[in-house]
Structure 1
Amino acid sequence: MTRSRPAMMLLACATASAAALMVSSATAFAADQAGPRPPKIKVLNSSVGAPFQFAYGKKQTLVSDGATSTVYKLSKKKLNPLFTTPDGLSAVGINSRGDIAYGIQQGDAESGGATTRAELVIKSRKTTTTADLLAYDEKNNPDQVNQYGIDNPTPCQEAALKDFGGANYPGGVDSHPYAVAPLDKTSWVVADAGSNNLLKVDAKGNISTLAVLPRQPAPITAVAAEHMGMPDCVVGAVYNFEPVPTDVAVTKDGLLVTLLPGGSHDPVAGARGSLVHVDWKGKVTTVAGGLQGAVNLTVDPKGNIYVAELGAGRISKVTDGKVSKYVDLPNALSLQFAHGNLYAGTMGSEDGPGTIVSIR
């Protein structure tokens, strides 16, 4: 049985205000958008709950709704159910042959949410193949090379972080296939948010590690320490968070990945999300940082990168490493450029259901 990740507990008491931020009422984005023609948002569907990922193929665009464990087919104007999956759906991908891959993750509430099942399922016209990602991590645990938390903590820091999983710990066993994309005609890349790795899965379900993502250092600020009721000894200490990859896109020279480092995404914790590039040898280079809850990305035909910032309630545009706000979109969760449009999914909340929108 796996254990819950301590880093996901750090600063957890600050999440209430983060939730308030994410469900805040939308303001007119046109007033903040530079230029005479701000993007226009059109709601296509308002019956989804958690549209975690889009997948764009030659003949169809798919959407995965984790709230109902349903994969939908998206046309220019509507959403049609394609098939349902076991509980815990997050990732979905489609390759040039029309094969569909989806990821599921299930946990045991009685044991603190420890992962009990994590799989990538590949559906072709004739066969269905299942790759057991949790079993792979139990056997290999690639991110055990990372030591998360504070390096060489003082006794005071150890005591302060005891209730948050400890001042430091090695990468443990876990798996959450949060995003998937086709590498080629027969294999897939999985952004595993639980194991902090990029994994390759072939058509037969064989799994290998493409890259172990690096820990994400950030200092604990005085504001964050006070917010959490922690002593002054933690202020200024560098905490090395788990990287937590949330999306992956395949490019000619490697992979683009959004990182949502473990811990709270309350503004007091700082904007710690980032966009990184991983080359085919596994080298990781930061493309852009300072993102507030980076959960998804897409690339347009001109090479512009768009990132969904769930914590900030917006879509940002990254060009030559520079980040600018593209449009405000509360609860922004997923993105896909297709059919000449930018599509986005928003998370449902107490204020209403999630949505699928087009942005032009």
Structure 2
Amino acid sequence: MRSTRTIIAAAAAAALALSLPTAASADSPPPPPQEWSSQLGAPFSIALDGSRVYVADGATGTIGQLQPDGGIAPVVEGIPGLTGLAIRGATMAWGSSVEDGSTEPPVILESGLNIRGPKGAVVYADLHAYEFANNPDAGNVYGITDPNPCVVEASGGAPLSYTGLKDAHAYNVASWKGEWLVADAAANAVLRVTDSGQISTLAVLPPVPVTLTAETAGMLGLPACAAGETYYVEPVPTGVAVGSGGKVYVTTLPGFPGESASQGALWQIDPRSGSVTQLASGLSGPTSAAVKGGDVYVAELFGAGVTKINGGVSSLYAPLSGALSVAVAANGTVWAATMDLAGGPGKIVSIADGKVRVNGNLVR
């Protein structure tokens, strides 16, 4: 599976050209977003520690801390392929990946979770090695599993389906019961990682059925008679969040041909069995999730902004073009960051009823 960075880049042009459906408006709209900074490139993740606000900027490879004046003070720099970020007390964890940029699409050579303890020592959990040793989604079948005779004949014997490939890409991270959860966008799984770097599989996300059109069939190199066929795409886990009682939520941004259309979904994982239940669908490029009480907030990169989901019902919470990440504080303040798909600066905003304070004192 291609890295989520590649998915975002490939889908951006298509998403900008599409008229995507938006979520229904909430009954009681929240206050308008308050912009704090426009000094970001690709803010893949927001992590909160009380009133301290941290941002993982994949464009610069920097974990920064938001300052009251809107500045972003660097905390950790020079991280290759920086994506997800999470904080638990004095411990911080972030995802990183190394790509071979000479190939198209780029091939990920390394991917893992970096866990920095209170004394600054960093443990590296090698998700790439774990994927190649275990391949959690090997049991998933993608592509056309029951092709019509025309498609079979036109393929000339070429395979029309495949099982899970060996590929890793650490994306978002969450703290969970003294461990870490990683949404691996290429492994199509949510992984558990201990502070000592031990890795196991919490859950594998299922293939996503997409009905092919003549256009998408052609883009896949399939004949016109493949239109109407069901193509099972890779789910691509992106956001992972933990709610009350240790409930685990994950968003998926399916691979092509579901990446630029509204094929994204929100799922809940049963940690005891690893089974997953879909809570909401029709999301447009969901890349991040956060939970407060019974509300799940989802950043939709290609949608209307931040969507709130409660009981399976979706409503627009905050209109934000290019919403890339979201987090919610204990007091209910929602933080979100955006990426400009046209290449401009990304922003970080807060949504709250009262005055929002930011603690800029650095804890490195």
Alignment TM-score > 0.5, same fold: yes
Give ranges in structure 2 of 5+ residues lacking alignment. Answer: 353-364
Structure 2 distance, partners of 1:356, 1:13, is: 24
Task: Name 2:357's counterpart in structure 1.
Answer: none
Alignment partner for residue 317 of structure 2, among 323, 326, 329? Answer: 326
- What residue identity is the alignment partner of 1:151? T
Partner Cα separation in structure 1 for residue 257 and residue 332 of structure 2: 35
> Which of 84, 89, 95 is residue 91 of structure 1 equivalent to?
84
Amino acid at match of 1:262: G
Give 1:18's aligned amino acid: A
What residue number does 1:286 align with?
278
Contact 1:15 1:264 in 2 (8 A): no
From the superposition, tell whether residues 87 and 234 of structure 1 become closer, same or farther in structure 2 (CA, over 3 Å).
Answer: same
Residue 250 of structure 1 deviates from its aligned partner by: 1.6
Separation in 2 of the partners of 1:86 and 1:5?
Answer: 20
Contact 1:265 1:292 in 2 (8 A): no
Look up the match of 2:167: 174
Distance 2:318 2:159 in 1: 39
Contact 2:36–2:349, Cα closer than 8 Å, also in 1: yes
Question: Which runs of structure 2 are paired with 1:95-174 in the superposition (5 Å)?
Answer: 95=88, 97-112=89-104, 113-126=106-119, 127-154=121-148, 156-157=150-151, 167-174=160-167
Alignment map for 1:298-337 (pairs within 5 Å): 298-300=290-292, 302-337=293-328
In 2: Cα distance, 1:306 partner to 1:5 partner: 26
SS of 1:111's partner is coil
The answer (yes or no) to whether the contact 1:15–1:266 under 8 Å persists in 2 is no
Is this contact kept in 2: 1:101–1:123, CA < 8 A? Answer: yes
Number of matched pairs? 342
Q: Which amino acid aligns with 2:111?
A: A
1:45 aligns with 2:37: yes
Does residue 186 of structure 2 align to residue 189 of structure 1?
no
Structure 1 position 326, deviation (Å):
1.9
Normalising by the residue count of structure 2, what TM-score does the alignment of the two structures yield? Answer: 0.84
Q: Give the percent of matched residue pairs that are identical in Structure 1 and Structure 2.
A: 39
- Please name the residue that 1:16 is paired with: 13
Amino acid at match of 1:135: A
From 247, 250, 263, the equivalent of 1:257 is 250
Q: Secondary structure at the match of 1:110?
A: coil
Q: Take 1:161 and 1:220, find their aligned partners in 2: how far apart are those partners?
A: 16
Distance 1:271 1:37, change over 3 A: closer
- Unmatched runs of 5 consecutive residues or more in structure 1: none
Distance in structure 2 (CA, Å) of the matches to 1:34 and 1:276: 21
User: 1:53 touches 1:179 (CA, 8 Å); kept in 2?
Assistant: yes
CA separation of 1:17 and 1:153: change in aligned 2, threshold 3 A: same
From the superposition, tell whether residues 328 and 304 of structure 1 become closer, same or farther in structure 2 (CA, over 3 Å).
same
Structure 1 contact 178–192 (Cα < 8 Å) conserved: yes
Residue 111 of structure 1, CA deviation: 3.4
2:167 match: secondary structure = coil
Report the Cα distance in structure 2 between the residues aligned to 1:289 and 1:72, rounded to whole angstroms.
33
CA distance in 2, matches of 1:13, 1:99: 34
TM-score by length of 1: 0.85
Residues 136 and 207, structure 1, Cα contact 8 Å, conserved in 2: yes
- Alpha-carbon RMSD across the aligned residues, in angstroms, is 3.1
SS of 2:196's equivalent in the other structure is: coil
Shift of 1:64: 0.4
Aligned-partner Cα distance in 2 for 1:250–1:351: 32
